[in-house]
Amino acid sequence: MPPCHLITGGAGFIGSCHVLRSRTAGVRVVNLDKLTYSGNPENLAALRDDPDHIFVRGDIGNDELTAHLLEIHQPDAVINFAAESHVDRSIHDPDAFVRTNVLGTCALLRAALRYWKALPEDRRAAFRFLHVSTDEVFGALRPGDPAFAETTAYAPNSPYSASKAAGDHLVRAFHETYGLPTLITNCSNNYGPRQFPEKLIPLILCNALARKPLPIYGTGGNIRDWLHVEDHCEALSLVLEKGEPGRTYNIGGRSERTNLEVVRALCGILDRLRPHPDGPYADLIAFVADRPGHDFRYAVDCGRLERELGWKPRHGFEQGLEDTVRWYLDHQDWTDRVRNGEYRAWLETNYGGRRA
C-alpha cells in the first residue's frame, strides 16, 4: 500500500506545490480545501485524471467531515497548510483568521487525535501531524539582531501572526497533553509559481505588466528572508520523514532582501525579458502609506534543519526570482482568471486609501 496523506489547503500556493510533489513521490493524497479566494483548483489541473488525488471541498473546522475522511482514507499523516494567509487582510478582518487559523486548527487536531488513538499500535507510532506555520510568530527583528531560532520567544504583531501563533500553541499542547505526534515548521516568505497576486512578488509582477503603480509600503527598507516554495516543500518532506515529534523546525532561504531590492530586481528582470517602449518598469515604483504594525525584519536561522536533517535550499534567490518571473509571463491566463471581482474589490480596500 502506498503511503496516504491528508493535506489541507492543498489548492493554495504552497499546498498545491506540496500536493504535486507528493503525487510525484507516489503518496496518495486526500486534499481538503475550502476553496476560499486564494484556493484555486486550476493549481491542480495536472492531477485531473489521477485517481490517487482525492479532492474534497470543505472546511478544516468541520470535524465531522475530517473525522469521516480520516476514517475512510486511513492516512499515515495530516499536513495542515489551510489558513488565512495574508497580513493585510488580517488587518481588515481579524475574525476570519481566528476562525480558520485557531478554531479550525483546533478542530482538525481534535479529529486527528480521535483517529490516532484508535489506530493499531504500529500505525500509531508512525503517524504524524505536521503543522505548517510562519516565522512571523516571532515578531520583528532590528538590523543587527540574530535570526529567529526555534527557541526565540513568540511575539506576534499582526492579527495574522497572532492567529498562527495561537494555532502553533494548540499543536504544541496536543502533543504535551495527549501525546499526539506533532511537528511544527516555521518558514520565511515563500516565492515561486502559483502564488496569489495579493503578496508582494506576484502583485508587483501583475501591476508592472498592466503598467500600474508598484506600491511599496513606507520606505521599502523592510527586510524579508526569501525561500523558494520547492525548497520549502522539500524541507517539509524531510521533517515529516525524520523530524522528532514534539519539536519545531525553522525553514528559511538565507536570502535577506529589502522590499525595494526585491521590487528593483523584478523590474530589472522584466526590462530584460519584456522591455516596454514607455521606459523601465522601475519608473512605476510608488511609495505608499505604510502597513500598520509593519514588522521591520524577518530572518530565519535554519541550522537545526541543516544539521539534523541534512536540508539545504537548492534555489539561489536571483535565479529563483527569474524563474518565477518567467512562470508568470508564461501563465498570464492564470493570473487573469484569479483576478476576478473579489480581487478587484480587495485592491480597492487595501490600496484605495493609500496615497502615493
Could you tell me if 137 and 188 are in contact, meaning their C-beta atoms sit under 8 angstroms apart?
no
Residues 179-208 interacting with ligand NAD (rule: CB under 6 A):
187, 189-190, 196
d(CA 180, CA 22): 23
Unique residue bearing C-alpha cell 525561500: 227
Residue 285 near ligand NAD by CB under 6 A: no
Task: Indicate which residue of 160, 249, 281, 351 is catalytic.
Answer: 160
Task: Indicate which residue of 59, 76, 84, 135 is catalytic.
Answer: 135
Of 222, 150, 151, the closest CA to residue 186 belongs to 150
**CB nearer ligand TYD, residue 112 or residue 229:** 229
Look up 136 and say whether it is catalytic: yes
Beta strand 190-191 with 227-228: parallel, antiparallel or unpaired?
parallel
> At its nearest, how many Å lie between ligand TYD and the CB of residue 295?
7
Residue 83 near ligand NAD by CB under 6 A: yes
> At its nearest, how many Å lie between ligand TYD and the CB of residue 338?
15
Look up 93 and say whether it is catalytic: no
Could you tell me if 314 and 230 are in contact, meaning their C-beta atoms sit under 8 angstroms apart?
yes
**CB nearer ligand NAD, residue 189 or residue 222:** 189
Partner from ligand TYD, ligand NAD, none binding residue 236, C-beta < 5-8 Å depending on class? none
**CB nearer ligand NAD, residue 84 or residue 256:** 84
Beta strand 256-258 with 223-225: parallel, antiparallel or unpaired?
antiparallel
> At its nearest, how many Å lie between ligand TYD and the CB of residue 74?
35
**Site for ligand TYD, rule CB under 6 A:** 87, 189, 199-200, 203, 215-217, 222, 224, 259, 291
Partner from ligand NAD, ligand TYD, none binding residue 59, C-beta < 5-8 Å depending on class? ligand NAD
Residues 4-43 interacting with ligand NAD (rule: CB under 6 A):
8-9, 11-15, 32-36, 38-39
> At its nearest, how many Å lie between ligand TYD and the CB of residue 50?
31
d(CA 70, CA 81): 17
> At its nearest, how many Å lie between ligand TYD and the CB of residue 356?
12
**CB nearer ligand NAD, residue 57 or residue 326:** 57
Cβ within 8 Å of residue 350, ≥6 positions away: 88, 89, 92, 198
d(CA 187, CA 240): 15
CA atoms within 13 A on the CB side of 128: 26
Element (H, E) at 18: helix 13-24
The amino acid that residue 79 corresponds to is: I
> At its nearest, how many Å lie between ligand TYD and the CB of residue 302?
17
Three-state DSSP state, 229:
helix
Partner from ligand TYD, ligand NAD, none binding residue 238, C-beta < 5-8 Å depending on class? none
Each residue of 329-356: b (16+ CB within 10 Å) or e? eeeeebbeebbeeebeebbeebbeeeee
Look up 160 and say whether it is catalytic: yes
Identify the residue among 22, 31, 66, 100 touching ligand NAD (CB under 6 A). Answer: 100
Runs of H (alpha helix) within 179-225? 200-209
Number of residues that bind ligand NAD (CB under 6 A): 31
Partner from ligand TYD, ligand NAD, none binding residue 259, C-beta < 5-8 Å depending on class? ligand TYD
Cα torsion through 274, 88, 17, 188, rounded to 10: 100
Element (H, E) at 78: strand 77-80
Of 130, 353, 138, 148, the closest CA to residue 246 belongs to 130
> At its nearest, how many Å lie between ligand TYD and the CB of residue 203?
5
**CB nearer ligand TYD, residue 145 or residue 241:** 145
Which range touches ligand NAD (CB under 6 A), out of 76-84, 212-220, 262-270, 327-335?
76-84
Q: Which residues are catalytic?
A: 135-136, 160
Q: Which residues lie near ligand NAD (CB under 6 A)?
A: 8-9, 11-15, 32-36, 38-39, 59-61, 81-85, 100, 104, 132, 134, 164, 187, 189-190, 196
